[in-house]
Amino acid sequence: MPTEITMPQLGESVPEGTVRRWLKQPGEPVARDEPLLEITTDKIDTELPAPAAGTLLEICVQEGATVRVGTLLGLIGEATEPSSARQPAITDQHAAPRRPRLSPVVARMVAEHGLDVARITGTGVGGRVSKQDVLRFLEQRQAQLDPPPEQSPASPSIPAPAGTDTPTELPDDAELLPLTPQRRAIAEHMLHAVRTIPHVTTVMEVDLSRVLAHREQQQAAFAQQGVRLTLTAYLVQATVSALALVPSLNSRFTAAGIIQHRRKHIGIAVALTEGLIVPVIHDADEKNLLGLARAVGDLTERARSRRLRPDETLGGTFTITNHGVSGSLFATPIINQAQGGILGIGAVQKRPVVIAQGGSDAIAIRPVCYCSLTFDHRLCDGATADAFLSACKRFLEAYA
């Protein structure tokens, strides 16, 4: 009997996935656990390994098709083995209809905004209400609430910003690049975050002399254990320490009230060629520096090689983005939706700073960087945010 390849459950809140690319074609040999195809969801890109060794007999879902969990994707068996489960390949956008239901993500959004789901038109399979349907409904509701801008009779109407709709004409030197599922998901996620969360950013300069000296002393010992010690591990340590002192930033805002998390799950933004992904170090406060460095290296490497498990991008309560690795000095990053803040780290540079020395001031050359905290102003005010960032600064500058 052929072995079925089915769409896996890619996380609790991911009821469907898109076949991005088949890595094997019918008739080609396949080894067990060999990468067989790439799957894209609105949260992660991942490779699906072959469930058995043999020959890829048939592809039942073509590239670009979005199907529900459990859908038959293909068959593996002996090259001469007939297939009793063959079915027409699925090439349209979605699989056959199923009973409409709400995913956990959609249910949470509906509850947070106090929506009547019966008023939302579902465009998913079988009329299911998707996250995009909720976002569209919220945008339409807000447009009805916002009064139109006043215009004088002689003033011409102002056109919508360029690039917001599908262009009907393109100049000769331009081309339209279709959105990948991941880029579309990132765009929708960021737009919803900016429209929903009142973003405020506060910035402090941090002296990393002690951290870099400690890293220099410990790099060889960590390397002997197969771990690369990076600045990010220290930043995670500083973050969980500050969250313990200022738990308001380990929270999220809802219409019913503020949900404050006891556990500290820290997301680490990782830049990929096609976008950004944020794997999560769960219970980061329970790990020492070695454990954090190992987790950072492992998650980063597997994120870039598309080997993350879907649940490794879920559950984050706070995020760190080290944008300084590309030379950026200062940034105001967007908060990851359903979190209360994000810590941005700029490039480390040697700069002259004024220090107290023997009762007087002196100028010294120190490795410093700008740390920016973007926070949800509904959760806390500037004084609380500054208390958090000050706690991070003290932790890093007093590192021993």
What DSSP line would sit under 103-120, residue for residue?
Answer: -HHHHHHHHHHT--GGGS
User: Is the pLDDT at 153 greater than 50, yes or no?
Assistant: no
Mean pLDDT across the stretch 333-360? 93
DSSP 3-state of 296: helix
Question: What are 16-34's pLDDT values in tens digits?
Answer: 788 989 999 999 999 998 9
Instruction: Give catalytic status of residue 381 as yes or no.
Output: yes
Q: Single out the catalytic residue among 146, 323, 381, 386.
A: 381
Do 328 and 349 touch, CB atoms closer than 8 A? no
The domain limits of the chain are: 3-77, 199-397
Do 19 and 73 touch, CB atoms closer than 8 A? yes
Say which residue, 7 or 224, is predicted with more confidence. Answer: 224
Do 202 and 246 touch, CB atoms closer than 8 A? no
Mean pLDDT across the stretch 316-336? 94
Question: What are 89-140's pLDDT values in tens digits?
Answer: 555 744 443 335 667 677 767 766 777 777 888 877 667 788 888 888 887 7
Per-residue confidence (pLDDT) for residue 125, from 0 to 100: 63
CA–CA separation, 144 and 138 (whole Å): 10
- Tokens 């509850």, located at residue: 111
Say which residue, 395 or 106, is predicted with more confidence. Answer: 395
Do 80 and 99 touch, CB atoms closer than 8 A? no
Per-residue confidence (pLDDT) for residue 293, from 0 to 100: 98
CA–CA separation, 142 and 124 (whole Å): 23
CA–CA separation, 163 and 100 (whole Å): 34
Which pairing describes strands 29-30 and 45-49: parallel, antiparallel, or unpaired? unpaired
Q: Single out the catalytic residue among 33, 298, 377, 386.
A: 377
Per-residue confidence (pLDDT) for residue 158, from 0 to 100: 39
State which CATH number among 2.40.50.100, 3.30.420.110, 2.40.10.10, 1.10.275.10 fits the domain covering 3-77.
Answer: 2.40.50.100
SS3 content of the chain, % helix, strand, coil (to 5): 30, 25, 45
Please, what is the Cα angle at 321 between 387 and 370, to 5 degrees?
55
Say which residue, 314 or 96, is predicted with more confidence. Answer: 314
pLDDT above 70: percentage of residues in the chain? 84
Per-residue confidence (pLDDT) for residue 161, from 0 to 100: 43
Question: What are 60-75's pLDDT values in tens digits?
Answer: 998 888 888 888 999 9
Per-residue confidence (pLDDT) for residue 31, from 0 to 100: 93
Same fold flag, 3-77 and 199-397: no
Determine the distance from the C-alpha atom of residue 390 to the mean position of all C-alpha atoms in its chain, rounded to a whole number.
26
pTM: 0.68
User: Is the pLDDT at 54 greater than 90, yes or no?
Assistant: yes
**7-11, 157-161, 174-178, 179-183 — most confident range:** 174-178
DSSP 3-state of 3: strand
Question: What are 233-274's pLDDT values in tens digits?
Answer: 999 999 999 999 999 999 999 888 999 999 999 999 998 887
Looking at domain 199-397, its CATH class is alpha beta
Q: Across the chain, what does the average pLDDT equal?
A: 84
Instruction: Give catalytic status of residue 192 as yes or no.
Output: no
Do 376 and 198 touch, CB atoms closer than 8 A? yes
